[in-house]
Structure 1
Amino acid sequence: MYISAIFHSGCPTSSLAAEPINFDKIVCSSCQQKANPTVVSSRTLPSSSRIFQNSNWTINRLPCPIVEDHPTSSIVIKPSNGHFRSYKFEDDLHIGIADSRGAVHSFWTQGVEIQNTMWQNSLILVSLNSYSDLDESLKVFKESDTRFCKTKYSDDTWNCFDFVLEFLRFIGFRDYSKMDFSREFTTKKLQGVVKYFTLFEKLKGQN
Structure 2
Amino acid sequence: MCENFEIICFKHCGDRSIFCREVPRSCPACAKVLADFSQPPFQLPNPFSNGRDKIMSIIIKPSSGIFLDVSYRHTHDLHIGIVDSNRRIFEYDQRGFVFNDFTKWSHCISFDRLVPESWSEYWDKILIDLARNPQWTDSRYDPVEFNCFDFVLEFMKKLGCKDFFYESKEHVCKDLILPKMKEALRYLGIYNRLRSANIYIR
3-state SS of the aligned residue for 2:154?
Answer: helix
3-state SS of the aligned residue for 2:42?
Answer: strand
Letter of the 1:120 counterpart: S
- Bigger radius of gyration among the two: 1
Letter of the 1:59 counterpart: P
What does 1:41-190 correspond to in 2, within 5 Å?
A: 56=36, 58-68=40-50, 70=52, 71-85=54-68, 86=70, 87-115=72-100, 117=102, 118-130=104-116, 131-133=119-121, 134-143=123-132, 145-173=133-161, 174-190=165-181
Retained in 2: the 8 A contact 1:77–1:124?
yes
Please report how far the alpha carbon of residue 13 of structure 1 lies from its aligned counterpart in structure 2 after TM superposition: 4.0
Letter of the 2:31 counterpart: Q
For 1:184 and 1:14, the matched residues in 2 are separated by 31
3-state SS of the aligned residue for 2:130?
Answer: helix
3-state SS of the aligned residue for 1:127?
Answer: coil
3-state SS of the aligned residue for 1:84?
Answer: coil
Ranges of 4+ aligned residues in structure 1 off by more than 3 Å: 11-15, 125-129
Distance 1:165 1:26, change over 3 A: farther
For 2:48 and 2:167, the matched residues in 1 are separated by 24
* Structure 2: gaps of 5 or more residues: none
Letter of the 1:122 counterpart: C
Q: Pick the aligned partner of 1:16 from 15, 18, 21.
A: 18
2:186 aligned residue = 195
3-state SS of the aligned residue for 1:179?
Answer: helix
1:46 aligned residue = none
* Structure 1: gaps of 5 or more residues: 36-53
Retained in 1: the 8 A contact 2:8–2:43?
yes
Please report how far the alpha carbon of residue 7 of structure 1 lies from its aligned counterpart in structure 2 after TM superposition: 4.0
Aligned CA RMSD, in angstroms, stands at 2.3
Q: Percent identity?
A: 27
Q: Which structure ranks higher in relative contact order (CA pairs < 8 Å, sequence separation ≥ 6)?
A: 2
Letter of the 1:124 counterpart: S
Once the two structures are overlaid, the 10-residue window that deviates more, 26-35 or 121-130, is: 26-35
Q: Which has the higher strand share?
A: 1
TM-score, length-scaled by structure 2: 0.78
Retained in 2: the 8 A contact 1:6–1:15?
yes
Please report how far the alpha carbon of residue 34 of structure 1 lies from its aligned counterpart in structure 2 after TM superposition: 2.3
3-state SS of the aligned residue for 1:132?
Answer: helix
TM-score, length-scaled by structure 1: 0.77
Retained in 2: the 8 A contact 1:95–1:164?
yes
